[in-house]
């Protein structure tokens, strides 16, 4: 993961795409999207981060963060929906948690039926 703050205003977060090949198939499994999380300190409760947004590419822009924060820490989680219900559960979770503190357990529950 890299974070570019070169414009003095935004943090442009970029990461390598996640690909996984699960035997016996030789076809790669690619994620349906990525969940971007943030925290203002690496020393706060590491099991909690805030939901920043979702990306369907390997880049996300945290707008205006450089102007108001001295530092920020990010995590990106890939997910794969295997059923329509999993997709609906993910949509509901993302709408409910936007800008709220979430735990890894909550995120894991939201990904039930999806593969993190």
Residue spans of the domains in the chain: they are: 2-107
Q: What is the topology classification, in CATH, of domain 2-107? A: Immunoglobulin-like (2.60.40)
Instruction: State pTM to two decimals.
Output: 0.72
* Structure confidence at residue 59 (pLDDT): 97
Long-range pairs for 66-69 at CB < 8 Å and ≥24 separation?
Answer: 66/5, 66/7, 66/8, 66/9, 66/10, 66/11, 67/8, 67/9, 69/40
* Structure confidence at residue 112 (pLDDT): 62
pLDDT digit string (tens) for 17-31?
A: 988 776 776 777 788
* Structure confidence at residue 18 (pLDDT): 85
E runs forming strands in the chain: 2-4, 11-14, 20-21, 28-29, 33-39, 48-55, 59-62, 73-81, 101-103, 114-115
pLDDT digit string (tens) for 38-87?
A: 888 776 555 678 888 889 999 999 999 998 888 888 989 888 776 777 77
Q: Which neighbouring-strand residues pair with 21?
A: 28
């Amino acid at each position: 993961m890299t974070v570019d703050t070169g414009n003095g205003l935004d943090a442009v977060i970029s990461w390598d795409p996640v690909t996984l090949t699960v035997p016996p198939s030789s076809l790669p499994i690619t994620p349906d999207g990525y969940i971007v999380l943030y925290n203002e300190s690496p020393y706060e409760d590491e099991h909690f981060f805030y939901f920043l947004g979702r990306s369907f590419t390997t880049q996300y822009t945290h707008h205006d963060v450089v102007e108001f924060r001295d530092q920020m820490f990010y995590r990106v989680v890939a997910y794969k929906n295997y059923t329509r219900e999993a997709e609906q559960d993910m949509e509901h979770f993302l709408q409910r948690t936007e800008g709220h503190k979430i735990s890894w357990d909550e995120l894991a529950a939201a990904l039930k039926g999806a593969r993190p």
